[in-house]
Amino acid sequence: MEDNTFALSSLKRHGYSDLLRICQDSSTIDSYLAAARSNLTSELAVLVDFFLLNRSAEPAQLISLIGNAFIETLRENNFIIETSTGRIALNGMRLIFTGDIALIYDHTVKTDSYFGSDSLGLGRLVSRAPFNSATALDLCAGPGFQSMNLVMKGYSSVTAVEINERATRIGRFNARMNQLDRNIEYSNCSAFDYLETTPLKYNTIIFNPPLIPLPPDIAYSFVGHGGMHGIDITENILRRSHNCLSDDGIVEFIGCSLHSNTELHVARLLDALPEAENYEKNYFRIGDYHFGEKSKFFKNLCATITSYNENLTEEDAWRRMQLFMEETSSIGMSTFFARWSKSNKATSKTINAFANEGAMWWPLL
């Protein structure tokens, strides 16, 4: 839409997207901007406050910078709240640029529309379209980043499937904002229902499922976790996706696996599926995170667990994770990217692409 184009161009012109590139890790954005804010121009400070720091702004200020039409579009989608003094703020949301894609997503701990560094990691690793008319299916689509990224990678048509109504609405908004809505069709239903009912076949299927391995009695975010082995959703998608792929199609996804020494537990479990006989399977092991007091990964995980389980302190969550590691004979977790290629040869290979404790997925911005 022309109004969106003006708003996004204005954000770039005022240095908003350039500033985001400096913040290489999403966890540093708030602290970086708090320190740097006094050096920003007054115009950029207003935009940063509104779109990044969830602070209120005077409507007239925003309208003068990005136009009234874009503000009204945000309001129509219930993305804006109004204060008692007439100021407005984004409703727990954030607007970022990832390459050429502008993205609005929920930026709250308890979110209906997840987007994180793993989302960007999948986006960087998914394959480009094999030919101009190739089609793709994006399951667990969230706010739509993967779908838009697939169009940018050459897919002529993408179907985005998302079970949550609010996330679907945000995804549709993002597609229109980036003028990619002609290439993306949204379906507000479960991935399982879609795979079981669609008559279509796709060249590529991708998904970023709930993936953290956790005990079933632990609550974890709106989308939940991946079950004991991190593959509850992944396994069910792989069981259903074969009939929705073209003859030379591929399935690409990310995950988080328990590991013990050199073994990636997920590879063994998924390779045991009957459907796995129809694929050449490659697992790219991205990061290893060993359980222990020095692990930032597990400290952050326990903090998140605590936010969703009011009866647990962080110390309780840590002891529960320690017991979980012992019960599953694991020493930590590994993040991975997987590519299953439809084939008559049932092969499987795990590649240690990048394994260290220091990097948690990929930089967000």
pLDDT at residue number 2: 53
pLDDT at residue number 47: 95
Q: What is the CATH number of the domain that holds 243?
A: 3.40.50.150
DSSP per-residue letters across 200-236: --EEEEEE--------TTS--TTT----TTS-HHHHH
The number of domains in the chain is: 2
* Proportion of the chain above pLDDT 70, given as a percent: 92
Q: Which helix (H) or strand (E) holds 13?
A: helix 2-13
74 with 199, same domain: the answer is no
The DSSP output letter for 77 is T
Structural domain includes residue 358:
no
48 with 142, same domain: the answer is no
Domain boundary among 59, 91, 123: 91
40 with 129, same domain: the answer is no
Q: What is the pLDDT averaged over residues 250-271?
A: 89
Phi-psi region of 35 (alpha: psi -120 to 50; beta: other; left: phi over 0): alpha
Q: What is the pLDDT averaged over residues 149-175?
A: 95
Residues linked to residue 317 through DSSP beta bridges, in sequence order: none
Residue 234 has pLDDT above 60, yes or no: yes
Structural domain includes residue 63:
yes
Residue 13 has pLDDT above 90, yes or no: yes
pLDDT-derived band at 338, boundaries 50, 70, 90: very high
Structural domain includes residue 364:
no
> Going by C-beta distance under 8 Å and a sequence separation of 6 or more, which residues neighbour residue 179?
1, 4, 5
Q: What is the pLDDT averaged over residues 203-214?
A: 93
pLDDT-derived band at 179, boundaries 50, 70, 90: very high
Q: What is the pLDDT averaged over residues 257-278?
A: 88
With H, G, I as helix, E, B as strand and everything else as coil, classify residue 60: helix
Structural domain includes residue 301:
yes
214 with 319, same domain: the answer is yes
pLDDT-derived band at 43, boundaries 50, 70, 90: very high
Q: Is the whole-model pTM more than 0.95?
A: no
Q: What is the pLDDT averaged over residues 205-212?
A: 92
Residues linked to residue 98 through DSSP beta bridges, in sequence order: 101
Structural domain includes residue 210:
yes
What is d(CA 254, CA 244) in angstroms, rounded to the nearest whole number? 19
pLDDT-derived band at 353, boundaries 50, 70, 90: low
Residue 166 has pLDDT above 70, yes or no: yes
Structural domain includes residue 337:
yes
pLDDT at residue number 85: 93
233 with 271, same domain: the answer is yes
Question: Which of 176, 182, 175, 178 lies closest to 157 in space, CA to CA?
Answer: 182
310 with 176, same domain: the answer is yes
Structural domain includes residue 327:
yes
Residue 145, domain extent:
101-352
pLDDT at residue number 355: 46
175 with 266, same domain: the answer is yes
pLDDT at residue number 236: 93
Q: What is the pLDDT averaged over residues 307-324?
A: 92
Q: What is the pLDDT averaged over residues 171-176?
A: 96
Residue 21 has pLDDT above 90, yes or no: no
pLDDT-derived band at 241, boundaries 50, 70, 90: very high
> 321 near 226, Cβ under 8 Å?
no
pLDDT at residue number 1: 53
Residue 23 has pLDDT above 90, yes or no: no
251 with 347, same domain: the answer is yes
Q: What is the pLDDT averaged over residues 226-232?
A: 90
Structural domain includes residue 362:
no
Q: What is the pLDDT averaged over residues 340-352?
A: 86
Domain boundary among 91, 123, 144: 91
pLDDT-derived band at 361, boundaries 50, 70, 90: very low
133 with 211, same domain: the answer is yes
Domain boundary among 45, 71, 91: 91
pLDDT-derived band at 362, boundaries 50, 70, 90: very low
pLDDT-derived band at 360, boundaries 50, 70, 90: very low
What is d(CA 84, CA 260) in angstroms, rounded to the nearest whole number? 55
81 with 105, same domain: the answer is no
The DSSP output letter for 88 is E
More confident residue, 341 or 109: 341
pLDDT at residue number 344: 82
72 with 138, same domain: the answer is no
87 with 190, same domain: the answer is no
- Arithmetic mean of pLDDT over the chain: 88
